[in-house]
Structure 1
């Protein structure tokens, strides 16, 4: 399911929303897929007119 297809199924629940926040766990580990991912995000923004924020939280290091 593409991002815009997902939005079509949930937009009524979030009709008041203007921003979509995506948590990118372990972002650098998925470097090889970054270009495809970013293109899909651009496609979602164009289709939905939502603002998208990408949040990256580095993994925790236990000692």
Structure 2
């Protein structure tokens, strides 16, 4: 979705000084979703840049801060299912270093499970995206 100084969703009503048309904004909100398969809770974090390894691990940190202490105590290890994209590849040292730091910080082991290329449809988070895309509000924002 575009980030900008918009009024009434881009629709004008008479003379106004709001920026109500596409001003060539290039900045977008990028979602990162975390699905807790045990509880069915979906956590969404939006960043205003590209999806990077830092954004993914920062989103995990925000999720960890958001869950309760009792939820944290029930977690033996964190299992993350990923699509092996360029930002979270198992050979990307920046991503792996950040994950090791996050694991040390929260005191939990982390398992990274990668889906083979072109099989991300089996990742449970992909079903969440499909459900969200069926809602008019989610679809009303321009795609990047």
Residue 39 of structure 2: aligned partner: none
RCO comparison, higher one (Cα < 8 Å, 6+): 1
Structure 1 length-normalised TM? 0.68
Within-5 A mapping of 1:1-63: 2=58, 3-12=60-69, 14-15=71-72, 16-25=74-83, 27=84, 29-30=85-86, 31=89, 34-58=92-116, 59-60=118-119
Specify the structure having the higher radius of gyration (Cα).
2
Structure 2: segments with no counterpart, 5+ residues: 1-54, 120-144
Structure 2 length-normalised TM? 0.34
RMSD, aligned CA: 2.4
Alignment length (residue pairs): 57
Structure 1: segments with no counterpart, 5+ residues: none
More helix by share: 1
